[in-house]
Chains A and B, each alone.
Chain A
């Protein structure tokens, strides 16, 4: 009997506390089958074993709390790491670049990694803390994204309540396809910029 079976069995039997605990731990970065848990919770709602509003509140709270732990780890634990980068040649410049990037794309990144590009979520929590992304803004985008994620997955679980295993497998694969597509677009864009001259050539009249 594997870990997924153990966790789902516990979810079926004990409900919300298990859902909460697993989601907090997963949000910090330990890989646990949370899409499966959420989809299964949706199915249990449909079967009348769990209440929809309770599942949404508890799962969202777990995810948001776990993300804040990740952010805090990055902010204080990552401090030493950031200090080491700072001491290196061009280190200060690089760190400033990373901070500027986080400021500019942070909101979209935080929001999208909550529900669409979920495999990158824990990583983004750490880097947001490390680059000193403003916490109130992190919290708001995190909350919005996590609630969307929970509602989306629980609804899917309710809709396909008789086939949660198959649904979770498809969703799990799909998440990595999306990550791959985004990585391909970024790399492709970099390659294009590399191949093209930085300044467009001026045509002499």
Chain B
């Protein structure tokens, strides 16, 4: 019985280890987070490395300091779906990045050549 339990534990642990490694690899190559309804505009701007102003403009809002509203609430206020707002934001991010291709990879400070 102990042997069976040991085999099961090793199997399950192995599965979780593989998942962890795969996640970590995926994470290294995909830097952008999938936009979710809980995210605020400043968080999305931070995650995608674009100025928050760009995202506010795309949604027809004026930029606010300390705006903690999640997308879900902004969607409700604008009577739109979260999916709709997400696609508007993704378009704005793509446009911003296309306009500033050199700014896409953030420079690493404190590193001398």
Residues of A that sit less than 8 Å from B by CB = 1, 4-9, 11-13, 15, 43-44, 46-49, 161-167, 169-170, 173-174, 176-177, 180-181, 183-184, 187-188, 190-191, 194
Contact A12 B2 (CB under 8 A): no
Q: Are B3 and A5 touching (Cβ within 8 A)? A: no
Chain B residue at smallest Cβ distance from A7: B38
Question: In the complex, are the beta carbons of A180 and B72 less than 8 A apart?
Answer: no
User: Which residues of chain B have a CB within 8 Å of any CB of chain A?
Assistant: 2-3, 5-6, 9-10, 12-13, 16-17, 19-20, 23-24, 26-27, 30-31, 33-34, 36-40, 42-43, 46-47, 49, 66, 68-70, 72-73, 82
Smallest Cβ-Cβ distance to A167: which chain B residue: B27
Q: A12-B43, A49-B42, A161-B46 are in contact. Are A188 and B6 (CB under 8 A)?
A: yes
Bound form: Cα–Cα A12–B70 in Å? 7
Do B13 and A181 touch across chains, with their CB atoms under 8 A apart? yes
Shortest beta-carbon distance, A34 to chain B, in Å? Answer: 15
Q: Does B33 lie within 8 Å of A9, measured CB to CB?
A: no
Chain B min CB distance to A165 (Å) = 5
Residues of chain B within 8 A of A181, CB atoms compared: 13
What is the CA–CA distance of A161 and B33 in the complex, to the nearest angstrom?
11
Expressed in whole angstroms, the Cα–Cα distance for A1 and B39 within the complex equals: 12
Bound-complex Cα distance A65 to B17 (A): 32
Complex contact A166–B2 (CB within 8 A): no
Closest CB in chain B relative to A73 CB, distance in Å: 28
Instruction: Report which residue of B17, B69, B73 has the largest number of chain A beta carbons within 10 angstroms of its beta carbon.
Output: B17
A191–B6 touching, CB < 8 Å: yes
A1 with B49: CB separation less than 8 A:
no
Q: Are B9 and A170 in contact (CB under 8 A)?
A: no
Q: Which residues of A contact B42 (CB under 8 A)?
A: 47, 49
Q: Which residues of B contact A166 (CB under 8 A)?
A: 23, 26-27, 30, 33
Assess the A162–B46 pair: CB atoms within 8 A: yes
- With A170-B27, A184-B13 known, 9 other A-B pairs at CB within 8 A are A5-B38, A12-B40, A43-B43, A162-B33, A163-B31, A165-B34, A166-B23, A170-B23, A177-B13
